[in-house]
C-alpha cells in the first residue's frame, strides 16, 4: 500500500469540512475521488503534504501514511523531502502553477536532482508527454504555450522525479473537450508505463470512470461510497451515487428527460442531523433523520454509508444498470 489516510479531519475557520476520511491507494492503482464542488475533496489532496493554508485551515486529527510513515508528523525538512519528489501534484490551472519569468527548460531543471538535470534527460521527459517539438528549445516561456501544452509541462514536472504518488486535482477542467481527451489519454499511458499510483480528484464522474480503478464518492465532507469502478457503474449502493450515475448524459437516451438530484448540498455551517444526504434522498425513512451511518463493507461489493443498502438490494430497489 502506497498511501493510507485514517480518520482525517480538517477545518477552515473553525468549521469542519473533512469529517473523518479513511482512504487507501495501492501501488499502481488509480483512485478517483469525486463529489460536488465544495465537498472537501481538494482539501484532502492538499492535506496529503500539509499544504492547507495556515491562515484559514488546520488539520485537526488523523494520520496520512506514506508506505507506513505518517506525513503529518514530519518536520519541515521531512516534508520538503516528500513534496515534489515522492508525492507530486498537477493542479487545475497550469498557467498559475508555472512561473512566468522562467523558461520551461529551467523549471524542469529545477525539479530534477543534480545528476539528472541534463539536456538529454529533460528532452526525454518532454518527449514522454508529447512535447518533443519544444524539447530542443531552451528559451520557451509558459505564456508562449497553449493551455493543453502548459498542462503537459505540469505533468512532465510532476513525473520527472518518478514519484510514489501523483495527485491530480481537476487537471482537465480548464481545457476544452478535445484537449481534455488528449490529456486523459496521456495520463493513462503514463500510468501504465510507469505503474503510477494516482489520486484523481474531479467533480466529473464520467472523467473519473475513464481513468480510475476504484472510485470514492464524497458528500458533505465524508466518503459515502468506496468501490471498484465496475461496481459503481453497474450497481451503485448509496442513493447519492445512484443519482450521480443516473445523471450522466447518454447518447442512447438523448430523448429522455435529463435526470438530476433534487435539492442542493448543505452548507458545512448548517449540516442536517442524521444522514447528511437525507433531505435529498428518495429512500429516506425516519431513522435517517436521526442517525448518521458509518461507512461499512456491504455485500462484498465495497463500502457504503447508508443504513438501507442491504434492504434496498433485497427489495430490488438497487438494480444493475
* Pair 57, 8: CB distance under 8 Å: no
Residues paired with residue 87 on neighbouring β-strands, in sequence order: 83, 165
The answer to whether residue 217 is domain-embedded is: no
Whether residue 166 sits in one domain with residue 51: yes
For the segment 122-132, the average pLDDT, to the nearest whole number, is 92
Three-state secondary-structure class, residue 115: helix
pLDDT digits (tens, 9 = 90+) for 210-234: 999 999 999 999 999 999 999 999 9
Q: Which of 171, 293, 271 is CA-nearest to residue 221?
A: 271
Residue 316 pLDDT exceeds 90: no
Whether residue 151 sits in one domain with residue 39: yes
Q: 222-228 and 296-297 as β-strands: parallel, antiparallel, unpaired?
A: unpaired
201-224 per-residue burial string, b: 16 or more CB within 10 A, e: under 16:
bbbebebbbbbbbbbbbbbbbbbb
Residues paired with residue 66 on neighbouring β-strands, in sequence order: 3, 69
Whether residue 165 sits in one domain with residue 122: yes
Last residue of a domain, one of 212, 245, 276: 212
Could you list the residue range(s) of the whole structural domain that residue 79 is in?
Answer: 3-212
Whether residue 254 sits in one domain with residue 164: no
**How many Å apart are CA 154 and CA 94, to the nearest integer?**
7
For the segment 279-294, the average pLDDT, to the nearest whole number, is 96
**How many Å apart are CA 23 and CA 200, to the nearest integer?**
13
Whether residue 279 sits in one domain with residue 130: no
Whether residue 263 sits in one domain with residue 208: no
Whether residue 97 sits in one domain with residue 131: yes
What is the residue whose three cell numbers read 425516519? 286
The answer to whether residue 173 is domain-embedded is: yes
pLDDT digits (tens, 9 = 90+) for 136-171: 788 899 999 999 999 999 999 999 989 999 999 999
The answer to whether residue 19 is domain-embedded is: yes
Whether residue 280 sits in one domain with residue 195: no
Last residue of a domain, one of 180, 212, 244: 212
The answer to whether residue 219 is domain-embedded is: no
* Pair 129, 189: CB distance under 8 Å: no
The answer to whether residue 48 is domain-embedded is: yes
Per-residue model confidence (pLDDT) at position 318: 65
Measure the CA angle with vertex 294, ends 292 and 297; round to 5°. Answer: 150
Percentages of the chain per state (helix, strand, coil), in multiples of 5? 35, 20, 40
Residue 284 pLDDT grade (very low, low, confident, very high; cuts 50, 70, 90) = very high
Whether residue 206 sits in one domain with residue 301: no
The answer to whether residue 223 is domain-embedded is: no
Residue 320 pLDDT exceeds 60: no
Last residue of a domain, one of 212, 245, 262: 212
Whether residue 262 sits in one domain with residue 160: no
The answer to whether residue 164 is domain-embedded is: yes
Whether residue 205 sits in one domain with residue 240: no
CATH of the domain at 158: 3.40.50.300
Whether residue 259 sits in one domain with residue 197: no
Q: What is the torsional sign of CA 260, 263, 267, 271?
A: negative
Quote the number of domains for the chain. Answer: 2
What's the DSSP call for residue 287? G
What is the DSSP secondary-structure string of 219-261? ETTEEEEEEEHHHHHH---SHHHHHHHHTS--STTTTSPPP--
Per-residue model confidence (pLDDT) at position 321: 47
Amino acid at each position: 500500500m502506497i498511501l493510507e489516510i485514517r480518520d482525517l479531519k480538517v477545518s477552515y475557520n473553525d468549521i469542519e469540512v473533512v469529517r473523518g476520511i479513511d482512504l487507501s491507494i495501492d501501488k499502481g492503482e488509480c483512485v478517483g475521488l469525486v463529489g460536488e464542488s465544495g465537498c472537501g475533496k481538494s482539501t484532502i489532496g492538499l492535506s496529503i503534504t500539509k499544504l492547507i493554508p495556515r491562515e484559514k485551515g488546520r488539520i485537526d486529527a488523523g494520520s496520512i501514511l506514506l508506505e507506513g510513515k505518517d506525513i503529518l508528523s514530519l518536520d519541515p525538512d521531512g516534508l520538503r523531502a516528500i513534496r515534489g519528489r515522492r508525492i507530486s501534484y498537477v493542479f487545475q490551472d497550469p498557467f498559475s502553477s508555472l512561473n512566468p519569468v522562467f523558461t520551461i527548460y529551467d523549471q524542469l531543471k529545477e525539479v530534477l536532482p543534480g545528476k539528472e538535470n541534463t539536456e538529454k534527460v529533460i528532452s526525454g521527459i518532454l518527449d514522454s508527454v508529447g512535447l518533443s517539438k519544444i524539447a530542443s528549445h531552451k528559451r520557451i516561456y509558459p505564456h508562449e504555450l497553449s493551455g493543453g501544452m502548459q498542462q503537459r509541462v505540469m505533468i512532465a514536472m510532476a513525473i520527472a522525479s518518478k514519484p510514489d504518488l501523483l495527485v491530480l486535482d481537476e487537471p482537465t477542467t480548464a481545457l476544452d473537450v478535445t484537449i481534455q481527451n488528449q490529456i486523459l489519454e496521456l495520463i493513462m499511458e503514463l500510468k501504465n508505463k510507469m505503474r503510477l499510483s494516482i489520486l484523481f480528484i474531479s467533480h466529473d464522474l464520467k472523467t473519473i470512470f475513464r481513468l480510475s480503478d476504484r472510485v470514492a464518492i464524497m458528500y458533505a465532507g465524508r466518503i459515502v461510497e468506496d468501490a471498484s469502478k465496475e461496481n459503481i457503474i453497474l450497481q451503485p449502493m448509496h442513493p447519492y451515487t445512484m443519482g450521480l450515475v443516473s445523471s450522466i448524459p447518454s447518447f442512447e437516451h438523448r430523448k429522455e428527460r435529463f435526470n438530476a438530484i433534487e435539492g442542493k448540498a448543505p452548507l458545512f455551517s448548517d449540516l442536517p442531523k442524521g444522514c447528511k444526504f437525507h433531505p435529498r434522498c428518495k429512500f429516506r425513512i425516519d431513522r435517517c433523520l436521526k442517525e448518521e451511518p458509518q461507512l461499512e463493507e456491504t455485500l462484498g461489493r465495497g463500502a457504503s454509508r447508508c443504513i438501507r443498502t442491504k434492504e434496498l438490494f433485497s427489495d430490488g430497489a438497487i438494480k444493475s444498470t
